């Protein structure tokens, strides 16, 4: 028998040791007992981090939607699978049972088939947080199509780049979306994007805000009538364990976004196992993750992980501030939420509001509080613990990444004693280590270094779509035979991990990964801009915000700087999306550069964070005089 659900600390250590000593036996037992397969695997794991190549459960045949839906029908057909809470609190919440989900996924799958979509085709999904979004993912998986969800806050340019990178045939969107008191013209964004996407022949449009939109003849089709006419039965496509399930883009420190490819069996096993343990999910619990399905957190812990466990998963369309800053707490109260999973940036924003907005609501249903996406600072941790959990619900500070597919380092509730700001211990199967600047492993405790993982786990991304070399260079080249996370971490006296933040040029703003180079590329397209450099600096709600240093082409230009700042942020909004806007823009005559022409970002980071007492060694700078100028004019 596998130890599927870990219940106390001693058991955790025992299971963890087994998972390291006998990883294949460990995962095989879990896979055997808790999932349904058309055919079992020939080999549990084959791997080589130098190529890199990772294969889990090779030879196995399955369909993930049978595991997420069909196999629950007999015992849980009437149980709510997806509980949809609309943006407007006066609109009725929708309870979609497993049986209804089965029918709706099959109808959607049949619609995709009718549009000519088949196994292996890429389907771009650009939808707000409405049930059709989760259903679209599952419909793709039903027929073996590879979904590529693009977060509906990305701009038309960002969308078209992603559509073209993975050569999507079809886009699924809606007429628009609600965001608090505002509406957003999603279809208009898609129309703009598709001008640059000759490969897209079809666009399916869900009706949500009932706005007037233009439908392009031959390309655009309303989704609902097609669904209404589709059969509620759709035989699942039998997939190989290593067939791609989805592509999800994440930004890198340089270049275009990376389409991380996740495959079927390992991803299913790992997200299901971690969901059960990290949230201590029990059969009648109501679980709510506030992420958007456009990010990995939503894929793994709104859709696949919960549904594979037959859970009730809440999908919330709106924002935490509408109609007031008590909305999250009102929803917990209304639906008796037991597990609540959110991001530190939301906690910090809500902690700034009056406590009355919390105390009006009964939060006694809560049993587990989760945090994800960025380090949670001590103040936010305590506020969350004291006011939301009332010191009764353990806080699960879960560390992981788009690339890891599932939670890697995290306390287990009621098992692992928590310490604020610590993600604590690796989950079973995860072998983290810390590396020093000389690429040597730092052994022992009370040490700090770069976080790597030594051994494969089932949900690791297998490649970057269309660019395996980049996958190797980004994750497997910094350290020999190791997956490099890009994060720094420390390990304390008892072996707990604390994530200290990115060590590359990715800045996490409000929990969103933003590579600085693509934003610089966008800014440099402004006709007045000669060059730019962007760094992060601490921000009390967003965690980090962006600070841009910009050299204008025509020094001494009398153009209004405030207008230029607006135009620069407008360009960023158009190229990437509003999430990447700069908080501060300083115009400067130069940037500190080494003799080889590299911008010394270390100095710019220190100036942005107003920490200029010791700028470190500047002797290799080509233009040291510019540092004083930048410091004198720094924006505070
Ligand atoms: O820097 C780490 C940070 O978020 C990065 C991954 O971002 P993304 O791929 O967008 O996935 C976010 C959701 C899984 C990591 O490299 N991060 C994530 N969780 C934590 C964290 N930093 C500190 N503590 C966390 N709990």
What local confidence, expressed as pLDDT, does residue 10 receive?
97
What local confidence, expressed as pLDDT, does residue 343 receive?
96
Mean pLDDT (the chain) is 96
What local confidence, expressed as pLDDT, does residue 620 receive?
82
Report residue 310's pLDDT band, with 50, 70 and 90 as the boundaries. Answer: very high
Q: Which atom of ligand 1 is nearest to the CA of 506?
A: 1
- For 338-357, write each residue's pLDDT tens digit: 999 999 999 999 999 999 99
Q: Domain 506-632 carries which CATH code? A: 3.30.300.30
Mean pLDDT of 236-261: 93
Distance (Å, rounded) from C-alpha 350 to C-alpha 338? Answer: 19
What local confidence, expressed as pLDDT, does residue 619 receive?
80
- Predicted confidence (pLDDT) at residue 2 exceeds the cutoff of 70: no
Mean pLDDT of 556-579: 90
Distance (Å, rounded) from C-alpha 410 to C-alpha 75? Answer: 31
Phi/psi of residue 194, nearest 5 degrees: -70, -15
- Give the residue, by CA position, lying nearest to ligand 1 atom 23: 375
What is the signed CA dihedral for 190, 195, 199, 204, rounded to 10 degrees?
30
Ligand 1 midpoint to CA 502 (Å):
9
- Give the residue, by CA position, lying nearest to ligand 1 atom 12: 373
Count how many residues are written for the chain. 636
SS3 570: helix
The verdict on the CB of residue 250 being under 6 Å from ligand 1 is yes
Mean pLDDT of 523-530: 93
The verdict on the CB of residue 400 being under 6 Å from ligand 1 is yes
- Predicted confidence (pLDDT) at residue 557 exceeds the cutoff of 80: no
The verdict on the CB of residue 499 being under 6 Å from ligand 1 is yes
User: Where do the structural domains in the chain lie, given as residue ranges?
Assistant: 9-319+398-472, 506-632
The verdict on the CB of residue 402 being under 6 Å from ligand 1 is yes
Q: Is the previous residue joined to 17 through a cis bond, with omega within 30 degrees of 0?
A: no
The verdict on the CB of residue 296 being under 6 Å from ligand 1 is yes
Q: Nearest-5° angle of CA 555, CA 545, CA 499?
A: 135
The verdict on the CB of residue 317 being under 6 Å from ligand 1 is no
Q: Which atom of ligand 1 is nearest to the CA of 250?
A: 9
Spatial strand order of the sheet with 339-342 comes to: 94-97, 80-85, 312-316, 286-289, 339-342, 368-372, 395-398
Least confident of 139-153, 188-202, 606-620: 606-620
- Give the residue, by CA position, lying nearest to ligand 1 atom 25: 399
- 151: nearest Cα among 276, 253, 13, 248: 248
Ligand 1 midpoint to CA 298 (Å):
13
Mean pLDDT of 519-537: 94
- Predicted confidence (pLDDT) at residue 555 exceeds the cutoff of 60: no
- Predicted confidence (pLDDT) at residue 316 exceeds the cutoff of 60: yes
Are the CB atoms for 333 and 189 separated by under 8 Å?
no
Spatial strand order of the sheet with 447-453 comes to: 441-442, 432-435, 447-453, 483-491, 497-502
- Give the residue, by CA position, lying nearest to ligand 1 atom 18: 373
Looking at domain 9-319+398-472, its CATH superfamily turns out to be ANL, N-terminal domain (3.40.50.12780)
Considering the entire predicted model, what is its pTM?
A: 0.95
- Predicted confidence (pLDDT) at residue 1 exceeds the cutoff of 90: no
Mutation to probe ligand 1, out of 342, 397, 399, 410 (largest number of atoms < 8 A from CB): 399
| Bigger pLDDT: 2 vs 284 | 284
Q: What is the distance, to the nearest Å, from the Cα of residue 68 to the centroid of all Cα atoms in its chain?
A: 20
For residue 339, give both structure tokens: 């597990």
Report residue 614's pLDDT band, with 50, 70 and 90 as the boundaries. Answer: confident
SS3 271: helix
Distance (Å, rounded) from C-alpha 430 to C-alpha 412? Answer: 14
Mutation to probe ligand 1, out of 154, 289, 299, 373 (largest number of atoms < 8 A from CB): 373
The verdict on the CB of residue 401 being under 6 Å from ligand 1 is yes
Least confident of 334-338, 438-442, 596-600: 596-600
- For 465-481, write each residue's pLDDT tens digit: 999 999 999 999 999 99
Ligand 1 midpoint to CA 320 (Å):
21
The verdict on the CB of residue 292 being under 6 Å from ligand 1 is no
Q: Is the dihedral of CA 568, 570, 571, 573 positive or negative?
A: positive
Across 200-238, b (16+ Cβ under 10 Å) vs e yields: bebbbbbebbeeebeeeeeebbebeebbeebeeebebbe
Q: Which atom of ligand 1 is nearest to the CA of 486?
A: 16
- Residue appearing with tokens 């959990």: 389
């Amino acid at each position: 028998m596998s130890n599927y659900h870990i219940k106390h600390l001693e058991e955790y250590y025992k299971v963890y040791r087994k998972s390291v000593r006998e990883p294949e036996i460990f995962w095989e037992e879990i896979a055997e007992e808790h999932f349904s397969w058309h055919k079992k695997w020939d080999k549990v794991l084959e791997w080589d981090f130098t190529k890199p190549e990772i294969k889990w459960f090779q030879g196995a045949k399955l369909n993930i939607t049978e595991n997420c839906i069909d196999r629950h029908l007999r015992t849980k057909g009437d149980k709510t699978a997806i509980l949809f809470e609309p943006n407007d609190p006066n609109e009725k919440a929708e309870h979609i049972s497993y049986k209804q989900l089965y029918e709706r996924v099959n109808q959607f799958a049949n619609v995709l088939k009718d549009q000519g979509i088949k196994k292996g085709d890429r389907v771009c999904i650009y939808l707000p947080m409405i049930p059709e979004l989760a259903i679209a993912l599952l419909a793709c998986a039903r027929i073996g199509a590879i979904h590529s969800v693009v977060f509906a806050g990305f701009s038309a340019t960002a969308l078209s780049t992603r559509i073209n990178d993975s050569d999507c045939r079809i886009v699924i969107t809606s007429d628009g979306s609600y965001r608090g008191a505002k509406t957003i013209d999603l279809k208009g964004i898609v129309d703009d994007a598709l001008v640059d996407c000759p490969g897209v022949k079809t666009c399916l449009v869900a009706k949500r805000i009932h706005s007037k939109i233009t439908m392009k003849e031959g390309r655009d089709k309303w989704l609902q009538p097609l669904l209404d006419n589709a059969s509620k039965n759709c035989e699942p496509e039998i997939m190989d364990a290593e067939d791609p399930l989805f592509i999800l883009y994440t930004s890198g420190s340089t270049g275009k976004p990376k389409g991380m490819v996740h495959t079927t069996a390992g991803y299913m096993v790992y997200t299901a196992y971690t969901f059960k343990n990290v949230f201590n999910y029990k059969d009648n619990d109501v679980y709510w993750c506030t992420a958007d399905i456009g990010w990995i957190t939503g894929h793994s812990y709104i859709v696949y992980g919960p549904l594979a466990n037959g859970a009730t998963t809440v999908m919330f369309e709106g924002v935490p501030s509408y109609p007031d800053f008590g909305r999250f707490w009102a929803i917990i109260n209304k639906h008796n939420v037991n597990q609540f999973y959110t991001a530190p940036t939301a906690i910090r924003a809500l902690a700034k509001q009056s406590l009355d907005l919390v105390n009006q609501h009964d939060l006694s249903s809560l049993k587990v509080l989760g945090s994800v996406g960025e380090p949670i600072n001590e103040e936010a941790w305590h506020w969350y613990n004291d006011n939301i959990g009332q010191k009764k619900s353990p806080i699960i500070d879960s560390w992981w990444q788009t690339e890891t597919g599932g939670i890697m380092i995290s306390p287990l509730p009621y098992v692992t004693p928590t310490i604020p700001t610590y993600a604590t211990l690796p989950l079973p199967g995860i072998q983290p280590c810390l590396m020093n600047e000389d690429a040597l492993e730092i052994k022992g405790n009370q040490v700090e270094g770069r976080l790597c993982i030594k051994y494969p786990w089932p949900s690791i991304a297998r490649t970057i779509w269309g660019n395996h070399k980049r996958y190797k260079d980004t994750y497997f080249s910094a350290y020999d035979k190791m997956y490099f996370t890009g994060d720094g971490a420390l390990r304390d006296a008892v072996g707990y991990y604390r994530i200290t933040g990115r060590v590359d040029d990715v800045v996490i703003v409000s929990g969103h990964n933003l590579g600085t180079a693509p934003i610089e590329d966008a800014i440099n397209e402004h006709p007045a801009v000669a060059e730019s450099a962007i760094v992060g600096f601490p921000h009390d709600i967003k965690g980090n915000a962006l600070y841009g240093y910009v050299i204008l082409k025509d020094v001494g230009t009398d153009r209004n700087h405030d207008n230029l700042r607006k135009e620069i942020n407008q360009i960023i909004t158009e190229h990437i999306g509003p999430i990447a806007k700069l908080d501060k823009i300083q115009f400067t005559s130069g940037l500190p550069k080494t003799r080889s022409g590299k911008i010394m970002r270390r100095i710019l980071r220190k100036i942005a964070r107003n920490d200029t007492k010791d700028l470190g060694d500047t002797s290799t700078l080509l233009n040291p005089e510019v540092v004083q100028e930048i410091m004198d004019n720094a924006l505070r």
